[in-house]
Amino acid sequence: MKLLNMKTLMQKMSFRSQINYAKFDFNLMLILVFLSAVVFFGPSSAFSKPSLNDRLVLMWQVQKDISDEDLKFLKEKGVNLVQSFNILKWTEEEIQNYLDRMGKNGMGVIMSIDKAPILNRTASGWSYNYTKAAEFINRWKNHPSIFAWHICDEPSSANKKIPVSLQEEIYRHIKSLDPAGQVFISWNGTVDEHYNFFSEKAFDMLDIHAYVNDYPGHRQKNLIEIFKRHRTRIYPVLITISVHNRQNRPKLPSDAVRQQYEFFFKQNNLTRSIGFYGWKLSPNTGIKDDSGLIRQFMDLQFKFP
């Protein structure tokens, strides 16, 4: 059987067939260009998140059920980092959806892994589950929305007192799994004794905060001064201010958010990065569910030179 070359084949095709063939050829070219872009840029090209050099604006306790409208509001307000203490309780599908939604809105996610089944309180103290930690971190570390691994929250608190040796051990394990990943601790030390549970070898970036009823109170002033005394190296620091009402406590004063902001970011020059605690809390009340808190948050102009 004699084979026809392409030129002969095109001559024998009808004009309509030649047009259809040209359309097919063009569409095929577009598909190849698209696939080349995916290979080159990777699947993360649709997502974005801040870098450590950016001004970080963290909203604590943003839950998986946040509406698109609320997410847009936070983005327009300048929030570029989010977190939830419940993430270890979610299904894989829920985590995937959360990470995808945040990435599409230009927000990084701080993954809190300071709870069971990874960090566990036992009768003899604290234990760290290497297997569970590795499974979780290896599952999600390549998602482009991941910003940091949050390993300890207030480790010096009276009801925690997580040993420095364990904090450093967790840090080393996470860095062995995700060398480029950031390790994050949230710290509320306000007296020198608290620093028995503080190690600069246990994190890459640090949040500091003190939630009090008088704004700014002496504990918030101590938070800054004592931290400055114990700090021995340079690393990213974020200060979280209280924007929540606690059960059985007086409500936040009507101007407390502005007062905290002015104290931490105008009277002190420790960092440009800010956190807000928090969006949706339980059993306490956050910004989402309190008209007075959302007004204070909306009114605050947290701009930096």
Shared domain for 67 and 201, answered yes or no, is yes
* Residue 31 confidence (pLDDT): 42
Shared domain for 168 and 118, answered yes or no, is yes
Question: Residue 30: which domain range?
Answer: 6-40
Helix, strand, or coil here: 288? helix
Residue 19 lies in a domain: yes
In whole angstroms, what is the distance from residue 52 CA to residue 56 CA? 8
Residue 46 lies in a domain: no
Shared domain for 146 and 232, answered yes or no, is yes
Residue 45 lies in a domain: no
Shared domain for 117 and 33, answered yes or no, is no
- In tens, the pLDDT along 126-177 reads 999 999 999 999 999 999 999 999 999 999 999 999 999 999 999 999 999 9
Q: In the numeric block, which tokens belong to residue 240? A: 């979280």
Shared domain for 269 and 127, answered yes or no, is yes
Residue 178 lies in a domain: yes
The DSSP code sequence of 209-222 is: ----SSTT-HHHHH
Residue 95 lies in a domain: yes
Q: Residues in the chain with pLDDT < 50?
A: 1-4, 6-7, 9-10, 12, 15-16, 18-19, 21-24, 26, 28-45, 305
Shared domain for 144 and 24, answered yes or no, is no
Total domain count for the chain? 2
* Residue 305 confidence (pLDDT): 45
Short-list 262, 227, 267, 269, CA closest to 241: 262
Shared domain for 33 and 98, answered yes or no, is no
In whole angstroms, what is the distance from residue 29 CA to residue 253 CA? 63
* Residue 25 confidence (pLDDT): 52
* Residue 248 confidence (pLDDT): 86
Shared domain for 280 and 201, answered yes or no, is yes
Shared domain for 191 and 288, answered yes or no, is yes
* Residue 303 confidence (pLDDT): 64
* Residue 2 confidence (pLDDT): 46
Shared domain for 88 and 197, answered yes or no, is yes
* Residue 29 confidence (pLDDT): 45
